[in-house]
Structure 1
Amino acid sequence: METTVEEQIAITPSLCEAVARLMPQLSAHLGAPSAGLLLRLCASPAAALLVARQDGRIVGMLTLAWYDAPSGRKAWIEDVVVDAAARGSGAGEALVRAALERARREEADCVMLTSSAARTAARSLYRKVGFVEAETSVFTLKREKI
């Protein structure tokens, strides 16, 4: 099945439906983001929401965000998710490769992502496209603690 990847620049009913369907597949505690958040994301000059389509239907998505630091331009791939029914079809790889191409156009010096050890298929994909596991840890602080 052919997969196409495009940057989502407008909020549409099909996008809202797809995001609502996909986010819980990324993590059971995630729900659909608000239309306002999606609007900010699609309008951001420092982020891109990429969607994968098969037969016109959104089957996957990810977000690429970039920023400048004294050590160079960094990019992060976030919220990579492919619908369970489309896994193994190449949609995830197409999304990640499209994100890497966009990061090249944004002149990122480094592209980073995180992945749970339990997501073995995703980690295999990331290695396949060239990512290596960093010898560092990611620390987080949730909103209620900030």
Structure 2
Amino acid sequence: MKHITRPLPTITPDNEEFWRSTKAHAAKLQRCNVCAHFWYYPGPVCHHCGAQDWTWTPLSGVGTIYSYSVLERAKGNPYENDVPIAIVLVRLEEGPVIMSNLFDYGSTDLAIGAAVQMTYEDVNDEVTLAVFVPAHR
């Protein structure tokens, strides 16, 4: 898996546990204790019902590609030396859709509905990103 030079997230009190869990290579998202929905991006209230009663819950890491795009040109931006980059929206088994990157894929792996597995990219001492690879690898 290649490392991509990119802007990194700002860690805040609302998302700190998510980034702590990715650093541990065991991603968690908030799961509502009222309606049982998971949501992404982390925040103070359930994105489905508005409840403020939730628990950080481990993710299976399993998902399917919901949509994708391949960045092939990036003149003058942080990705200039990293193209091509597969940018994917992944519907996690738990329900929410997360934007990330797909690595180590072949021509038939980048397709809507394709099964993917979460893995982790240790970017620096503070940030580890949740990224994806094809599930069969």
For the criterion TM > 0.5, the same-fold answer is no
* Larger RCO of the pair (alpha carbons < 8 Å, separation 6+): 2
TM-score band w.r.t. shorter chain = under 0.3
Q: TM-score, normalised on structure 1?
A: 0.24
Q: TM-score, normalised on structure 2?
A: 0.25
